[in-house]
Amino acid sequence: MQLKRVAEAKLPTPWGDFLMVGFEEIATGQDHLGLIYGDISGPEPVLARIHSECLTGDALFSLRCDCGFQLEASLTHIAEEGRGILLYHRQEGRGIGLLNKIRAYALQDKGADTVEANHELGFAADERDFTLCADMFKLLGIDAIRLLTNNPQKVEILAEAGINIIERVPIIVGRNPENARYLDTKASKMGHLLDDTH
């Protein structure tokens, strides 16, 4: 287990009241969050979203990505379902950090796509560690989920880490002229499934 559960409190939101659970990586002290809506106990698989931190999209309303749109849509889906979990995975910019993300944006402004920009900065296309999310699910007592994602890599990594993915639920939102190339690159170079098929 790479994490420990360290704190929790109620979080009222426009979608309803969530339980906010704080996790800490044992090796690094990095923090992550789980937002729990409703009663997640019982045998039925719970609707879940792993949302990777995106300050620019989530808080600053950037149109360069679909992250903020996905965050709001996920909270809406979970609230409509009446129960669910959103894990807020604190690995900004696919794990390269905020300042390198800004550097990657500058390279994209000069013509690179999102994968090329990461490579030019010396990073893999995706540096995130989704096994941390499997640990968060386990610390919440969850082993079977319906996962809101377009990223088949998340499904594969979680399954290898012992999480039973009953269903992949697509979350297709937020396409606009500013992020069209970004989304097309995620589909063509990273294998994201950006249609409504399961």
Q: Which residue has the tokens 């490579």?
A: 119
Cβ-contact 84, 77 below 8 angstroms: yes
146 assigned to active site: no
126 assigned to active site: yes
Q: How many residues does the chain have?
A: 198
Catalytic residue, candidates 58, 66, 126, 135 = 126
Catalytic residue, candidates 64, 128, 146, 168 = 128
Binding residues for Zn(2+), as ranges, are 54, 65, 67
- Residue 65 neighbours by CB distance under 10 Å: 22
CA 140 to chain centroid, in Å, comes to 17
Of 47, 44, 46, 49, the residue nearest 33 (C-alpha) = 49
Binding residues for GTP, as ranges, are 49-53, 70, 92-94, 114, 149, 154
Binding residues, as ranges, are 49-54, 65, 67, 70, 92-94, 114, 149, 154
- Residue 174 neighbours by CB distance under 10 Å: 18
Distance CA 151, CA 193 (A): 6
> Catalytic amino acids?
126, 128
